[in-house]
Structure 1
């Protein structure tokens, strides 16, 4: 039995593929790897497809120095604009518009290290209104909050917290120095203790190795993460990573397939940078991915919900909430 078939059986039974085994898979023939990843996805996840959208709830002037980000105050990137936390009426309007398009999960993302105590209260008021008036599921990405703050957010009606690991513990200091990998891990643990589900992945193409990508997913697996965003670096002028070459379609597809082996029952979610792929991610959705962030990203254009719903339908998926 070859390595792919052996690891497929392991993924479908124990689900505990090791780092060394994942590295072997990463060198395997792509088509066979992708086909096996799809089989794992079908058997462990079925045809569910988790489609979410994000809103830039607070933009720009960020104190953190993440080298990929147009919103960082440390760089000269031309962020579209800068503003404080959006008012309830605007967040409510966005939630309603997305729900009318068939989106089931709406994520509020804010710039900065973390929201202030006052901002958390304001955000909770908005979440309560969205849940009461629209009913769409609410995910939040409010930075490095503490457990008591996450409890308030859960009580307001949010169901999920997003906090990307970004990369491996080894590589993280190469892309951010204003907070630590431990800060990220502690945030995810605090959110889980507060009773929220967690969403965490990273960005591929920042200069990291395949080992770093695998280590990131293994860390997520160890934290009980079942929603893993896969962002592809969109090199933004004015950021330190502006000259990096984007990942090829084949590299992206290989990463998605390996990640499926590592977390067989997770939502592997194509996110930022998907529009850089020649097919907008279609082959990745045939290689183990089963979720996406649709619509515009934070500071870059995305793919419309209408286009994504048509693609999802053509691929035989059904849009529904997964891994709640």
Structure 2
């Protein structure tokens, strides 16, 4: 905890100890809460997902109900109209959402897809200019991140999902390095990087720590933590290995590794945390409101009641999420001489 308050990374031994189960859970939660409170007070940031295009993905990510070969009985549809997306966004913003996440299945966007997202961003921003727009379209090609930035996107989301060591166990149609490349493209373009993980796929404690440390190197502004929803019709169906305590310990580890970063409760929180959702809010400072991509979450009114009952408040549109220390005027050079990244000239 002391290291986290100083923004220092725990050692591998310390990180493994958080996960091992030797220390009392409430002791770990209390330590994580002190860090959370230091940087985020008692605020909870609300995010919402709009699934712009569902199913029929050519990638074979084993955890995903939209994957190639999935027989999960999910909704499948092509791009929804920007006006419809804006209406969905408006409803979420009125319920307290500060960030709208526009997500589309597929390996990566074509230029036509990027133009569709441009129109959707414009439709949302015309009504809610202060809302954050996060885009998640898969692997990016040259110039696409810059187009999204210029269109008004605030962030780009692309999860690493699992450790590099075992990435090929969950996906063969693209690589861990492909995902890192896309996140770096987004960051270089000036989009706020959002990247996290999915747990419950058979990963070891070492895998969890490896991923946390790898993400720390990429320096994301937000880290969504998903817990596997083992859809029938996917390779990981029937995999129910998580316990509520395991989920909270994982969240605590990520809070210690990302003390001043938005740590978000994402997919699967309701079914895996169950009665410990309120406890988890003492570690994470952000949640998704309502439904996910292909599964339903608990009603938004229940989410708001959960936050109130736990003694937290919803973060407003005008309140900065990240502490000012992450947005000072000094930017360390990461390009030009001594690197493989071109200079900004």
Query: TM-score, normalized by length of structure 1?
Result: 0.93
Aligned position for 2:154: 159
Q: Is the 8 A contact 1:52 1:292 kept in 2?
A: yes
Aligned position for 2:49: 54
Aligned position for 1:37: 32
CA distance in 2, matches of 1:17, 1:217: 11
> Is 1:99 matched up with 2:93?
yes
Q: Is the 8 A contact 1:45 1:266 kept in 2?
A: no
> Is 1:15 matched up with 2:8?
yes
CA distance in 2, matches of 1:318, 1:155: 32
Greater alpha carbon shift after TM alignment, 177-186 vs 219-228: 219-228
After TM superposition, give the deviation of residue 315 of structure 1 in Å: 2.3
Q: Which runs of no fewer than 5 residues in structure 1 stay unpaired?
A: 1-7
SS at match of 1:56: strand
> Is 1:279 matched up with 2:275?
yes
Q: Deviations over 1:218-242 (max 9, x none)?
A: 1111111131111111111110100
Matches within 5 A, 1:177-256: 177-256=172-251
After TM superposition, give the deviation of residue 56 of structure 1 in Å: 0.8
CA distance in 1, matches of 2:142, 2:33: 37
CA distance in 2, matches of 1:211, 1:241: 20
Query: TM-score, normalized by length of structure 2?
Result: 0.87
CA distance in 2, matches of 1:280, 1:263: 21
Aligned position for 1:305: 300
RMSD: 1.5
Q: Is the 8 A contact 1:270 1:281 kept in 2?
A: no
After TM superposition, give the deviation of residue 14 of structure 1 in Å: 4.3
Q: Which runs of 4+ in 1 moved over 4 A?
A: none
SS at match of 1:82: coil
After TM superposition, give the deviation of residue 13 of structure 1 in Å: 1.6
Q: Is the 8 A contact 2:244 2:276 kept in 1?
A: no
CA distance in 2, matches of 1:144, 1:237: 26
CA distance in 1, matches of 2:194, 2:221: 7
Q: Deviations over 1:249-274 (max 9, x none)?
A: 01001111111111111211111111
SS at match of 1:146: coil
CA distance in 1, matches of 2:37, 2:224: 19
Q: Which runs of no fewer than 5 residues in structure 2 stay unpaired?
A: 328-345
Matches within 5 A, 1:55-204: 55-79=50-74, 81-135=75-129, 136-204=131-199
Q: In 2 relative to 1, CA 161–280 (structure 1 residues): closer, same or farther, beyond 3 Å?
A: farther
Greater alpha carbon shift after TM alignment, 19-28 vs 206-215: 19-28
After TM superposition, give the deviation of residue 243 of structure 1 in Å: 2.0
Q: Is the 8 A contact 2:18 2:249 kept in 1?
A: no
After TM superposition, give the deviation of residue 75 of structure 1 in Å: 2.5
